[in-house]
Amino acid sequence: MRVALFVPCFVDAFYPAVARATVEVLERLGLQVDYPSEQTCCGQPQFNAGRLDQARELALRFVHLFRGYEAVVSPSGSCVAMVRKHYPGLIGESPVPARTFELCEFLARRPGGTDLGARLSGRYVLHVGCHERRELGAAAAVEQAIAGVSGLARMPVESDDWCCGFGGTFAVKFPELSAEMGRRKLEPVLRANPDWLISTDASCLLHIEGLLRRWQRDRPRTLHVAQVLAARGNP
C-alpha cells in the first residue's frame, strides 16, 4: 500500500522528530511512504480566522497534491479534522478527505496495526486533542495504540478529556484565558506526578511544555504519540 505523509506546520517547525517517528511506524508495517515536498498548511488557521478564500485555496492545493494516494496519514488530529470535516463545505466533493487519517486512526483500521513492538517504561497521562476526541471521535483508537506499547502504565486523571487551552488562534487572541485553561488542565496531572504526558498533537504539546517551563517543572516529560509508538526504549 502506498501512503502519503502529511506533516502539519507545528510538526514541521517545532517537532520534526515526530514526522520521522511517523514514517518509522508506517514503514514497520511494510508500507511505502511518500512525502510530497510541495505540501503546505492545511488551511486551518485561515479557516478559523474567517479567511475562507485563503483556506479554500489551500484546501484545493491539498486535494490536488494528495489525489493519487490510497491514504494520507498525519500525526495530527487537529489538521485531519480540518481536512475531513471542513474541506467538503469549502470545496465540495472530493475523495481525498475521506482517505485522510490521523496516525492512530489509520493503525486502528489495519488488522494487527497497533502491534509495533514498541517499548517505553513509565507511568503516563494521555491528552487526546480536542479535534481528535470530539470531531474525529478517535480517542479510542489512540488509547488502543498506546495500550500495545510494552512497559507503559496509564494514570487516569479527572482532566483527561479537558481542553489544554491552546486552540490555535484562540491562544493568540485570548492568551490569559488560554493559560488559565492550561493551568486547570495540568493541576490534576501534576498531582498524579506521571513520568510522561503523551498527546496526539504537537500544538497541544507546545502549549503544555510552555506552561511547564514557566512553572519550572521537569515532570512530566512530554512525548507525541508517534514517538511513543516508534520507541524501542526510554529516550
Q: Is the pLDDT of residue 23 over 90?
A: yes
106: amino acid identity, one letter = F
Q: How far is CA 69 from CA 2, 105, 141, in A?
A: 6, 17, 22
Mean pLDDT of the region 54-78: 97
Read off the pLDDT of each residue in 84-93 and give the average, rounded to a whole number: 96
Q: What does the pLDDT look like over 130-153, one tens digit per residue?
A: 999 999 999 999 999 999 999 999
Predicted pLDDT of residue 233: 78
For the cut 70, the answer to whether the pLDDT of residue 114 exceeds it is no
Provide, rounded to the nearest whole percent, the portion of the chain with pLDDT above 70.
98
The residue type found at 26 is L
What is the per-residue pLDDT for 196? 98
Is residue 12 within 8 Å of 203, Cβ to Cβ?
A: no
Is 157 in a helix, a strand, or coil?
coil
**Mean pLDDT for the chain?**
95
- And the C-alpha cell for 170? 484562540
- Cell numbers 496531572 correspond to what residue? 189
User: For the residues 83-110, what does the mean pLDDT come to?
Assistant: 96
Whole-Å CA distances, 230 to 2, 19, 71, 178: 20, 11, 20, 31
Higher pLDDT, 27 or 111: 27
- The predicted-structure confidence for 182-231, as pLDDT tens digits, reads as follows 999 999 999 999 999 999 999 999 999 999 999 999 999 999 999 999 99
d(Cα 36, Cα 187) in Å, to the nearest integer?
41
pLDDT band at residue 179 under the 50/70/90 scheme: very high
Cis peptide before 220 (omega within 30 of 0): yes
CA distance 189 to 220: 8
Q: Cell for 203?
A: 500544538
Domains of the chain, CATH where assigned: 2-108 (3.40.50), 119-230 (3.40.50)
What's the pLDDT at 130? Answer: 95
Res 115 pLDDT > 80: no
Dihedral (Cα; 94, 23, 135, 58), 10-degree rounding: -40
Determine if the pTM surpasses 0.85. yes
Which pLDDT does position 113 carry in this prediction?
57
Position 229 scores a pLDDT of 96
Cell digits for 222?
512530554
pLDDT at 112 over 80: no
